[in-house]
Structure 1
Amino acid sequence: MKRLQTAAIALIFLHSPAAAATSQWVETPGGDVRLVALPAGADGVVRAMIDIRLHDGWKTYWRDPGGSGIPPSIAISGAELKSVGFPAPKRLGDQDNHYIGYDRPVRFPLKLDKAAGGTITATVFLGVCKDICIPVQAELTVDSIGESFANPLEETAIADAEATLPGGSGDGFKPLSGRFAADDKSLTVRFEAPADGQLPDVFLSGSSTFEFGAAGPVRRDGDVFVAEVPVLHKPKVFDLEKDPIRLTVRSGEKTMESPLAIE
């Protein structure tokens, strides 16, 4: 597990009983969390989300917090977890203790392959932080037996969550290449992005065995943007074709996420 820097640590384990297609809110000092799931579509896919309602001043982490923090962990029973979506994050903290995450309520859209039966349980482990950091583990259960029509409010909430996810290449964005330094301590990223306003911000993530730090200042090289990203841990064995490094770019209000070709 990635390194955790805290002033104090408390572990909260809570259980949310089944309640139609939306679990009850599990309440914590720093934020509340619930599971929302729609009925399975004709293809058997269930659209769902982990809904994190952060309290004022509290923060939580992205999938790669940048070397300090708890990456969210989501395990599903009653269905197969196909994918978890993460909105583009922000740099948080200060110069001495910086990390990557969210400082406002956030929703992680899920795609599930529905199994037999109607009960789905998500076991969620995440960190919510302010002056202290609280690792939170919660079991969130929904029961969609007899649910043949989506609740319009739930459907809208999940559609809104999906709309916050970064787009792919296009609209001025294009991932170009990544190259590890000779000592493997950094990765140079080259990409195209909309040039209006402030310089874009860059985030990298890979499999659970990669760790990347916060990218250095982005610079221009002609029509291309370049950034150096610290490599905090590079595994000895990895398969980038099966599990590629993903480049996430924020440029103003626009965001992109795409696999990055490594030279």
Structure 2
Amino acid sequence: MNRLQTALAALLFVNSTAAAETSAWVETPGGDVRLVALPAAADGSVRAMLDIRLHDGWKTYWRNPGGSGIPPSITISGAELVSIGYPAPKRLGDDEAHYVGYDEPVQLPLRLDKAVGTAITATVFLGVCKDICIPVQAELTVDAASEPFANPLEETAIAGAEASLPRGAGDGFKPLSGRWAADGKSVTVRFEAPTEGPLPDVFLSASSSFEFGAATSVRREGDAFVSEVPVLHRPKVFDLEKNPILLTLRAGETSMESPLAID
């Protein structure tokens, strides 16, 4: 959303510390954020999540926001950030200001490792948008060793966040192939998806140096579905074996995510 570059209303920085496994909510005009973490396991691993409670009418971005916007940024101290999980997003905005993200509360599961000491702090930067966009920065701290056993409510919340993530590829819902256009400015994606219900939405994501636009309307070709995805920025040097492009598909309430092999 171009307003992010042109209408920055405020930069909100709040430090939220809690001697518990859930930080206090950091409240902002567009939404509230908190960090939830389960007690560290014996091997130092921690299951956690960033809980984003968007207010009515406000939106935030996916990891590849499309033609405009900024992806969430999460850095961790007190542990090592292994991965950030993202539920399948939605296409938002319009043709002139297309972006990809969420228009309702969303939870991002976090996998942490090598937790040391007791405190874990997440430094978070988000863009939340309505008529204007507000960059929100917050520090959220929890004590992942404050209790020997997981709080059932926190455990249920994190399990629900993990369950909301796209499933892996399987029979009837999987990528088939990807092919660069001759000029490198788009990728043609072929995939299998459920034949009943809404046509799938197609999203691509990769390292931060790639940027993808809005996929064209999905069409049937034989037993497969096909869509073209614009490549808004492609780095001169990249290694798809180490950092593959991910294909995310959303068909109604069902979603799938898997690396996409590209010729």
TM-score, with structure 2 as normaliser: 0.96
Q: What residue is the counterpart of 1:66 in the other structure? A: 66
Query: 2:244 matched to which residue of 1?
Result: 244
Once the 2 structures are TM-superposed, how far is the Cα of residue 145 of structure 1 from its aligned partner? 2.9
Structure 2 equivalent of residue 179 of structure 1: 179
CA contact (8 A) 2:44 2:116 kept: no
The answer to whether the Cα contact below 8 Å between 1:72 and 1:124 also exists between their aligned partners in 2 is yes
The superposition leaves residues 193-242 of structure 1 with CA deviations (integer Å, 9 ceiling, x where unpaired) of 11111211100000010000111111111010111001000001111111
Using the TM superposition, give the Cα deviation of residue 116 of structure 1 relative to its aligned residue in structure 2, in angstroms.
1.9
**Inter-partner Cα distance in structure 2 for 1:77 and 1:36:** 15
How far did 1:105 drift? Answer: 0.2
1:91-130 map, 5 Å: 91-130=91-130
For residue 181 of structure 2, what is the amino acid of its counterpart?
A
Please tell me whether residue 159 in structure 1 is matched to residue 159 in structure 2.
Answer: yes
Matched residues in 2 for 1:234 and 1:68: separation?
15
Tell which deviates more after alignment, 241-250 or 143-152: 143-152
Aligned residue for 2:197, secondary structure, equals coil
For residue 45 of structure 1, report the CA deviation from its aligned partner: 1.6
Q: What is the DSSP-based 3-state SS (H/G/I as helix, E as strand, rest coil) of the residue aligned with 2:69? A: coil
* Aligned positions of 1:22-171 closer than 5 A: 22-170=22-170
Structure 2 partner of 1:205: 205
- Are the aligned partners of 1:40 and 1:114 in contact in 2 as well (CA < 8 Å)? no
Instruction: Tell me the CA shift for residue 168 of structure 1.
Output: 0.3
Write the letter of the residue equivalent to 2:203.
Answer: F
2:55 partner amino acid: H
Letter in 1 for 2:134: I
TM-superposed deviation, 1:5: 4.8
**Structure 1, unpaired ranges of 5+:** none
| SS across alignment from 1:177 | strand
1:51-87 per-position Cα deviation (integer Å, ceiling 9, x unaligned): 0000000000000000211110000000000000000
Which structure 1 residue ranges, 4+ long, deviate > 6 Å from structure 2? none
Instruction: Give the deviation of 1:172 after TM superposition.
Output: 1.9
- Return the offset for 1:11: 1.1
CA distance in 2, matches of 1:181, 1:8: 36
Per the alignment, in what secondary structure is the counterpart of residue 121 of structure 1? strand
> Per-residue CA shift, 1:96-152, capped at 9, x if unaligned?
211100000000000000322011000000100000100001000001234210000
1:119–1:142 contact (8 Å) kept in structure 2: yes
2:19 aligned with 1:19: yes
Instruction: Please say if residues 5 and 68 of structure 1, whose CA atoms lie closer than 8 Å, have aligned partners that are also in contact.
Output: no
The amino acid that maps onto 2:175 is: P
SS in 2 for 1:156: helix
* 154-163 or 167-176, larger mean C-alpha shift: 167-176
User: Conserved in 2, the CA contact under 8 Å of 1:78 and 1:119?
Assistant: yes
What residue ranges of structure 2 are gaps of 5+ in the alignment? none
Aligned position for 1:257: 257
How does the TM-score come out when normalised to structure 1? 0.96
Matched-pair identity in %:
78
Q: Is the 8 A contact 2:31 2:53 kept in 1?
A: yes
Question: The residue matched to 1:154 in structure 2 has which SS?
Answer: helix
Q: Does the 8 A contact of 2:79 with 2:113 survive in 1?
A: yes
C-alpha separation in 1, matches of 2:43 and 2:256: 27
Contact 1:3 1:67 in 2 (8 A): no
